[in-house]
């Protein structure tokens, strides 16, 4: 993980238009809420494009410094910056490596900058197009007579399944088991209510996907995540989305994905991940607790009464960097993610084809080194 | 087996007729042979396809590479439809398509360095079906090449080189100049394959589509190009000067593929000493020339024991013949021009060979040091299709933590993702399991005889191809090197 510590804004950063300072966090949130189809990495890229266009920079190092300031600000303001850091990393690497390419006729700074500024929408469109490409390709995985298990509110999975349903035009011959934990959300404490917005949205997306599938004639069963093991015998394949695909080929995805992977593995069912390649992130987690985010999942409470009010004695893992008192907001349980290691994953369906988990590192190495 | 070879329709008769028949007739001929399973198994299919495509390209008269590509693709479609389970056919078609694209793009990038100059190790076939108007060929070689029609009856059995030259051949063409393998990454739009593809520049600003949704303030006046237009923009879509000799280069490349098919066993066998050590107990399965050659190469230096699983009921006769004579029993011996020590059995090299029935595999696995398997085709995810029984063997090997080594030429490596494994398994003649004479039995009992097994990638420890040893998880990369993404669905 690249540094998530907020650095001091550079003098150059401060010197620009004092009237209306550009707020990357607001921009990011605005972009995400304005377009429900936007993924977090792409929203981050888009925010950086807007940040660049709002600040005239003249030199390369000035631009890079500005970008890293904005990236640091953005990352520190978001409870789970893993996914968006895939986008910001990609953007920064692109800038650096296209400036480093000496042979390229477009290698000069001005041209690269202009390219990035003028084609921001193009990047967004491409990212959305990638989702459609994945759906078009991945729907071939959903064969007649198969039962697919999926979870979460992943838009890629939703469009893949809907594309598969549309392709079979009227005579749908596959079934879907959808893990929807709507009941569990009510169990969250008062402290988590502020995060309920996103969780609700994800839940709504899951419900919308289910409704969309049913409208297309696909038989869908919704189950709580506690029933995954029970249902596994009926399942032919598992397809999940991902927030981020990490360097070793594992994925970071909604809480509950890891156990689905474990169960699928033990039942010998293929476990496919659908993710656009801009979600590849340079991160090498070794275990669940190695993620550079704080999650409010394990809350040890000794006092029964205070536990209910959410003020219990908490033993949180302080090993993760919490610096200068400006601790990152914790990820609420509804927003929490887990890490599914690569040995549980049969294949990663990207817009570039089906990759084995070990191919992810190569793609990342291509842009980083 | 009883009939003389000249009468048996098969690879030999096809290759013989290929030089006389017009191309269209040859295409139909091969289709009917494939449909009737008169050409089957990966290598005969690969050789027949390559030779046919050589004719198709040689016969092609135009100057337009796009037409050639669509022509090859069309022929490929027909062949693949004829026998979709012989994946080698599709692999070769995709290789040739990638080759054509390579030649065209390569000529664009480096003008005046045609491929025909570079590989000195090419051994083109000096056969009468050579197009006479093709001047750039080195004109020599290969009275001994089994791929010319005199020896073409035994593509599986015959090794490409007389043994005295084989080691030299291995060293000189240890890694044959695969035109499709190295340059593709350097020339074919590197940005598009990388994660940076998201940021790649639009080729031409197109007013075709305005994006929906949030419009950032500065660039509303510059509508971006939708990605599908960019994706479709392969180099072949652009008008361009194609050099006159691109066909010659393509033909050379196809001959290189033939050459590779010719040498693949020797190249794989050259890795034998790295994997077989003294006094090991090796278990193998079914009659494969590749495995035999591999073991034989190791047997020249080392002593070990081979347990041969007989693979009843589809291949046991060939397996036994391999143990006795070192080659398959296909009734074609009379046509082989020279029966030399290339086909000596392992026992002649002083190796102890034990035949075991398929049912004994698990029992004996605890004593086995290494499992060496042949394959029918390899899938891009690292799984493979092999003769029925292979799955049981690899499962047993997993149970006992015995390493599983799979030998496969690159031509068997398919870019097709195994979406439905049931479709890939072919079922054979149940009469081999239960005789049709046994009327009462046949009437009351369903007999199935699958020819192949699917072995998932996690049961294989290492693949040895003619390019060297690879982990199963690395095979996707070899697929990327040899096939173009646009050709994967033909």
Residue A153 has pLDDT above 80, yes or no: no
B476: chain A residues, CB-CB within 8 Å:
354-356, 359
Partners of B218 on chain A (C-beta within 8 Å) are: 53, 117-118
Q: Token pair of A368, please?
A: 């980083």
CB-count exposure of residue A19 (10 Å: 0-12, 13-18, 19+): exposed
B275-302 tens-digit pLDDT: 999 999 999 998 888 999 999 999 999 9
Q: Which tokens belong to B127?
A: 């056969």
Chain B residue numbers with beta carbons less than 8 Å from the beta carbon of A125 are 211, 224, 226-227
H/E element holding A33?
Answer: helix A24-34
Least CA distance to A347: which residue of chain B? Answer: B381
Q: What is the pLDDT of residue B203?
A: 56
Q: Are residues B226 and B251 in the same domain?
A: no
Q: Which one of A125, A137, A141 makes the best mutation probe of the B interface by having the most chain B beta carbons within 10 Å?
A: A125
User: Does B32 lie in the same domain as B21?
Assistant: yes
CB contact (8 A) between residue A359 and residue B477: yes
Distance (Å, whole) CA B346 – CA A190: 76
Same domain, B319 and B443: yes
Ordered by start, the domain boundaries in chain A are 11-118, 132-368
Q: Answer whether B202 sits within 8 Å of A126, measured CB to CB.
A: no
Contact check, Cβ <8 Å, A97/B196: yes
Positive or negative torsion for Cα B311, B312, B315, B319: positive
Number of domains forming the structure of chain B: 3
- Cα separation, B324 vs B347, whole angstroms: 8
**What are the tokens at B56?**
């198709």
> Which strand (E) or helix (H) includes residue B282?
strand B281-285
User: CA B264, CA A121: separation in Å to the nearest integer?
Assistant: 50
Residues whose CB is less than 8 angstroms from the CB of residue A57 and which lie 6 or more positions away in sequence, other chains included: A12, A63, A66, A113
Banded pLDDT at A219 (limits 50, 70, 90): very high
Looking at the partner chain, which of A97, A125, A358 has a beta carbon nearest the beta carbon of B227?
A125
The C-alpha atoms of residue B161 and residue B180 are separated, in whole angstroms, by 24
Inter-chain CB proximity B473 and A357 less than 8 Å: yes
Hey, how many other C-beta atoms are within 10 angstroms of the C-beta on A267? 13
Average of per-residue pLDDT across A50-67? 86
- Quick check: A121 and B474 CB within 8 A? no
Mean pLDDT of chain A: 80
- Closest-CA residue in chain B for A118? B219
A chain contacts of residue B473, beta-carbon cutoff 8 Å: 356-359
Residue A264 clears pLDDT 70, i.e. is over it: yes
Query: Three-class SS of residue B236?
Result: helix
Residues B349, B312 within the same domain:
yes
Name the residue among B202, B213, B474 with its Cβ closest to that of A119: B202
Picking from B219, B226, B474, the nearest residue to A120 by CB comes out as B219
DSSP result, A68-80: HHHHHHHHHHSS-
User: Mutation test of the interface with chain A: which of B94, B186, B190, B216, choosing the one with the most A Cβ atoms within 10 A?
Assistant: B216
pLDDT score of B37: 86
My answer on whether B62 and B191 are in the same domain is no
Q: Report CB contact under 8 Å: A121, B381.
A: no
To the nearest whole Å, the CA of A368 is away from the closest chain B CA by 10
Q: Answer yes or no: do B334 and B425 share one domain.
A: yes
Contact A363 B214 (CB under 8 A): no
- Give the domain extent around B105: 5-182+243-264
CB-based burial, A97-136: b 16+ in 10 Å, e otherwise: bbbeeeeeeeeeeeebbebbbbbbbbbbbbbbbbbbbbbe
What is d(CA B70, CA B292) in angstroms, rounded to the nearest whole number? Answer: 39
Structure tokens at A296: 């409010």
pLDDT in tens, A102-129: 655 555 788 888 888 888 888 888 888 8
Q: Which residue has the higher pLDDT, A177 or A19?
A: A177
Among B281, B93, B64, residue whose Cα is nearest residue B180: B93
Instruction: Give the distance from CA A141 to its chain's centroid.
Output: 23
CB B369 within 8 A of CB B280: yes
Question: Given this model, what pLDDT does residue A367 score?
Answer: 80
Chain A residues in contact with B216 by the CB 8 A cut-off are 46, 49-50, 53, 120-121
Q: Does the beta-carbon distance from B477 to A362 stay under 8 Å? A: yes
Same-domain check for residues B307 and B224: no
CB distance A64 to A95 below 8 Å: yes
Q: Which residues of A touch B191 (CB under 8 A)?
A: none
Q: DSSP labels for B15-81? A: HHHHTTS-HHHHHHHHHHHHHTTSS-SHHHHHHHHHHHHHHHHHH---S-HHHHHHHHHHHHHHHHH
Q: Are A182 and A226 in contact (CB under 8 A)?
A: no
**Residue B98: its pLDDT value, please?**
92
For residue B396, the model assigns a pLDDT of: 96
Topology of the domain covering A132-368: Rossmann fold (3.40.50)
Q: Tell if the CB–CB gap between B195 and A123 is shorter than 8 Å.
A: no
Task: Compute the C-alpha angle A71/A341/B484, nearest 5°.
Answer: 80
The larger pLDDT score, comparing residue A2 to residue B103, is at B103
What is the per-residue pLDDT for A239?
95
For the record, the structure tokens of B94 come out as 């995709």
Count the alpha carbons within 13 Å of B296 in the hemisphere toward its beta carbon.
24
Residues B136 and B58 in one domain: yes
> How far apart are the CA of B487 and the nearest CA of chain A, in angstroms?
12
ipTM computed for the complex: 0.73
- Flag if A352 and B193 touch (Cβ within 8 Å): yes
Q: What's chain A's Rg over C-alpha atoms?
A: 21
Residue A151's beta-bridge partner residues? A179
> Residue A100 — φ and ψ, nearest 5°?
-80, -20
Q: How far is B19 from A100, CA to CA, in rounded Å?
A: 54
What lies within 8 Å, CB to CB, of B281 at 6+ separation is: B304, B305, B306, B307, B367, B368, B369, B370
Q: Pick the residue from chain B with its C-alpha nearest to A141.
A: B419
**Does residue A303 have a cis bond before it (omega within 30 degrees)?**
no
- Asked if B219 and A121 come within 8 Å (Cβ–Cβ), the reply is yes
Output the pLDDT for position B74. Answer: 92
**Inter-residue contact B195 to B178 (CB < 8 Å):** no
Largest separation between any pair of C-alpha atoms in chain A: 68
Map residue B83 onto helix, strand or coil. Answer: coil
Chain B residues near residue A359 by CB distance under 8 angstroms: 473, 476-477
Q: Which residue of B has its CA nearest to A86?
A: B195
**Which residues in chain B touch residue A280, judged by CB atoms under 8 angstroms apart?**
195
Is B150 in the same domain as B224? no
Strand, coil or helix: B246:
helix
Residues B384-414: tens digit of each pLDDT: 999 999 999 999 999 999 999 999 999 999 9
Both B57 and B201 in a single domain?
A: no
Q: Show pLDDT as tens, one digit a residue, over chain B (490 residues).
A: 444 444 578 888 888 888 888 888 999 999 999 998 888 888 899 999 999 999 999 888 877 888 899 999 999 999 999 988 889 999 999 999 999 998 888 766 554 433 333 333 333 333 333 333 333 333 333 333 333 333 333 333 333 444 344 444 444 434 443 333 333 333 333 334 577 877 777 654 443 333 333 333 333 334 444 444 444 444 444 444 556 678 888 999 999 999 999 999 999 999 999 999 999 999 999 888 899 999 999 999 999 999 999 888 888 888 888 888 877 765 444 344 444 445 678 888 889 999 999 999 999 999 999 999 999 999 988 899 999 999 999 999 999 999 999 999 999 999 887 777 788 888 988 888 888 888 888 888 888 899 999 999 889 999 999 999 999 988 888 888 899 878 887 7
B476 and A127 within 8 Å at the Cβ level: the answer is: no
**Phi-psi region at B278: left, alpha or beta (left = phi > 0; alpha = psi -120 to 50):** beta
Residues of B with CB under 8 A from a CB of A: 193-199, 201-202, 211, 213-219, 222, 224-228, 380-382, 417, 419-420, 471, 473-474, 476-477, 485, 488
**What pLDDT sits at residue A187?**
45
Looking at residue B399, its pLDDT comes to 95
B233 with B302, same domain: the answer is: no
Instruction: Please report the number of interchain residue pairs, chain A to chain B, with beta-carbon separation below 8 angstroms.
Output: 109
A37 contacts in B (CB within 8 Å)?
213
Question: What strand order describes the sheet that includes A347-350?
Answer: A220-223, A175-179, A147-151, A237-241, A271-274, A347-350, A353-355
Q: Residue B103: name the closest of B488, B490, B413, B484 by CA.
A: B484
Q: What integer pLDDT is reported at residue A124 of this predicted model?
A: 85
Interface test with B, best of A121, A352, A362, A363 (most B CBs within 10 A): A121
List CB contacts (< 8 A) between B198 and chain A. 45, 90, 123, 126-127, 130, 277-278
**Does B220 lie in the same domain as B257?**
no
């Amino acid at each position: 993980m690249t540094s998530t510590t907020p650095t001091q804004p550079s003098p150059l950063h401060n010197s620009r238009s004092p009237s209306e300072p550009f707020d990357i966090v607001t921009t990011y949130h605005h972009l995400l809420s304005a377009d429900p189809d936007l993924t977090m990495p792409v929203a981050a890229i888009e925010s950086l494009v807007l940040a660049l266009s709002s600040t005239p920079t003249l030199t390369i190092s000035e631009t890079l410094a500005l970008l890293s300031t904005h990236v640091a600000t953005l990352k520190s303001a978001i409870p789970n910056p893993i996914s968006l850091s895939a986008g910001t990393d990609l953007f920064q690497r692109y800038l650096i490596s296209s400036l480093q390419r000496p042979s390229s006729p477009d290698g000069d700074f001005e041209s690269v900058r202009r390219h990035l500024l003028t084609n921001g929408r193009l990047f967004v469109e491409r990212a959305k197009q990638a989702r459609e490409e994945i759906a078009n390709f991945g729907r071939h995985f959903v064969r007649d007579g198969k039962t697919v298990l999926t979870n979460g509110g992943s838009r890629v999975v939703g469009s893949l399944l809907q594309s598969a349903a549309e392709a079979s035009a009227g005579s749908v011959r596959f079934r879907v088991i959808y893990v929807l934990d709507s009941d569990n959300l009510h169990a969250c404490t008062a402290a988590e209510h502020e995060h309920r917005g996103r969780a609700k949205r994800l839940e709504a997306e899951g419900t919308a996907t289910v409704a969309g599938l049913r409208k297309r004639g696909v038989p869908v069963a919704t189950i709580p995540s506690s029933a995954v093991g029970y249902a596994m015998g009926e399942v032919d394949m598992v397809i999940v989305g991902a927030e981020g695909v990490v360097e070793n080929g594992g994925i970071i995805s909604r809480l509950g994905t890891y156990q689905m992977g474990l169960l699928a593995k033990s039942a010998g069912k293929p476990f496919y991940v659908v993710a656009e390649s801009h979600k590849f992130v340079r991160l090498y987690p070794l275990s669940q607790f190695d993620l550079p985010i704080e999650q409010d999942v394990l809350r040890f409470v000794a006092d029964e009464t205070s536990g209910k009010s959410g003020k219990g004695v908490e033993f949180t893992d302080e090993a993760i960097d919490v610096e200068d008192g400006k601790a990152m907001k914790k990820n609420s349980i509804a927003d929490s993610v887990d890490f599914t290691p690569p040995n549980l994953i049969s294949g990663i369906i990207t817009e570039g084809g089906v990759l084995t988990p070990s191919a992810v590192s190569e793609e990342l190495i291509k842009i980083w080194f | 087996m009883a009939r003389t070879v000249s009468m048996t329709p098969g690879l030999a008769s096809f290759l013989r007729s290929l030089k006389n028949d017009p191309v269209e007739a040859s295409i139909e001929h091969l289709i009917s042979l494939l449909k009737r399973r008169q050409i089957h198994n990966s290598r005969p299919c690969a050789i027949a396809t390559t030779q046919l495509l050589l004719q198709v390209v040689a016969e092609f008269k135009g100057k337009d590479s796009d037409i050639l590509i669509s022509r090859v693709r069309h022929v490929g479609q027909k062949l693949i439809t004829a026998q979709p389970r012989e994946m080698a056919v599709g692999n070769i078609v995709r290789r040739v398509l990638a080759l054509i694209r390579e030649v065209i793009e390569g000529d664009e990038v480096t003008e005046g360095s045609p491929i025909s100059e570079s590989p000195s190790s090419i051994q083109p076939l000096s056969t009468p079906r050579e197009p006479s108007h093709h001047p750039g060929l080195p004109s020599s070689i290969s009275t001994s090449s089994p791929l010319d029609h005199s020896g073409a009856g035994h593509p599986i059995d015959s090794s490409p080189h007389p043994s005295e030259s084989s080691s030299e051949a291995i060293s000189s063409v240890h890694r044959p100049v695969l035109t499709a393998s190295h340059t593709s990454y350097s020339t074919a739009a590197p940005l598009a394959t990388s994660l940076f593809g998201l940021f790649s520049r639009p080729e031409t600003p197109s007013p075709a589509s305005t994006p929906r949704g949030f419009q950032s303030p500065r660039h509303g006046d510059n509508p971006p190009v939708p990605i599908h237009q960019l994706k479709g923009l392969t180099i072949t879509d652009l008008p361009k000067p194609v050099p006159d000799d691109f066909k010659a280069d393509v033909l050379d490349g196809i001959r290189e593929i033939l050459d590779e098919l010719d040498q693949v066993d020797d190249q794989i066998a050259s890795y034998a000493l790295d994997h077989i050590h003294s006094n090991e107990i090796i278990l193998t399965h079914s009659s494969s020339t590749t495995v035999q050659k591999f073991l034989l190469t190791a047997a020249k230096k080392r002593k070990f024991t081979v347990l041969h699983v007989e693979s009843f009921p589809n291949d046991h006769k060939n397996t036994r013949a391999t143990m006795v004579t070192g080659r398959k029993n296909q009734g074609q011996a009379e046509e082989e021009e020279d029966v030399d020590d290339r086909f000596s059995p392992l026992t002649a090299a002083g190796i102890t060979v034990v035949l075991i029935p398929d049912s004994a595999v698990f029992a004996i696995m605890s004593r086995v040091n290494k499992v060496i398997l042949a394959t029918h085709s390899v899938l891009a995810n690292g799984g493979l299709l092999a003769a029925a029984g292979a799955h049981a063997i690899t499962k047993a090997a997993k149970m006992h933590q015995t390493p599983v080594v799979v030998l496969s030429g690159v031509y068997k490596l398919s870019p097709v993702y195994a979406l439905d494994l049931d479709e890939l398994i072919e079922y054979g003649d149940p009469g081999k399991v239960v005789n049709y004479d046994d009327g009462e039995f046949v009437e009351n009992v369903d007999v199935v005889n699958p020819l192949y097994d699917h072995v998932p990638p996690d049961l294989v420890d290492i693949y040895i191809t003619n390019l060297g040893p690879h982990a199963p998880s690395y095979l996707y990369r070899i697929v990327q090197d040899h096939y173009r993404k646009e050709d994967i669905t033909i």
